[in-house]
Amino acid sequence: MKISLIKLDQFSGRRTNFYTVAVDDDDKSLFQHFIESNLEQHGTEVRNLLMRIKTMGDVTGAREQFFKLREGKADDAVAALYDIPSKKLRLYCLRYGNCTVILGDGGPKTTRTYNEDENLDGKVRLLQRISKLLDNGIRNRDVRINEDGTIDCDDEITDEYEDD
């Protein structure tokens, strides 16, 4: 798997920098897939999430209370972002403190846990792999998350081996 990080300047601000990921040779990012897949049926929730993301970038930062943390495994950065808890749409992401968030994909959650939904489970598993890839890059100093929330890395980050 190879990933490319894409900074989302339209959402990034003085408090939080937002990124998304393009995987392999897909011409759309995970966040683009999320928007396109959910805008028609869940337009209000999508727009509310976009406003929340913009507010985090400019005003509040990516505070813990805006996310459901530890959506993946205990040692990864996977979290869920949602409009309000009673709503069903989930946007899965990687949260690195208050200053850096990498937006992924998601969808409506209609089961008790994301694991019970094959579609959401696949999206979380992909983010877990991306989290592991970024963690390895940070350890090897190929990826750096700066104090201001920006990320420095090569244009593409590639698995040295496929473990799945």
Instruction: Please list, in sequence order, all residues whose beta carbon lies within 8 angstroms of the beta carbon of residue 46, skipping any fewer than 6 positions away.
Output: 35, 38, 39, 89
Chain-centroid distance of CA 80 in Å reads: 8
Mean pLDDT over 128-144 rounds to 91
State the SS3 of 42-60.
CHHHHHHHHHHHHHHHHHH
Please tell me the predicted confidence (pLDDT) of residue 74.
Answer: 66
Tell me: pLDDT of 160 over 80. Answer: no
Please tell me the predicted confidence (pLDDT) of residue 116.
Answer: 73
- What whole-number percentage of the chain has pLDDT above 90? 64
Tell me: pLDDT of 162 over 70. Answer: no
End-to-end CA distance of the chain: 10
> Across all residues in the chain, what is the average pLDDT?
89
Please tell me the predicted confidence (pLDDT) of residue 93.
Answer: 96
CA distance 64 to 23: 27
Tell me: pLDDT of 164 over 50. Answer: no
Mean pLDDT over 25-36 rounds to 96
Span 75-133, pLDDT tens digits: 778 999 977 766 789 999 999 999 999 999 999 987 777 767 788 999 999 999 999 99
Using only C-alpha atoms, the chain has a radius of gyration, in whole angstroms, of 15
Please tell me the predicted confidence (pLDDT) of residue 77.
Answer: 87
Span 35-48, pLDDT tens digits: 999 999 999 999 99
Residue 17 has phi, psi (to 5 degrees) of: -105, 130
- What whole-number percentage of the chain has pLDDT above 70? 92
**Strand blocks (E) in the chain:** 2-7, 17-23, 67-68, 78-81, 89-96, 100-108, 144-145, 151-152, 157-158
Predicted TM-score of the model (pTM): 0.90
Most trustworthy range by pLDDT among 2-11, 105-114, 152-161: 2-11
Amino acid residing at 92: Y
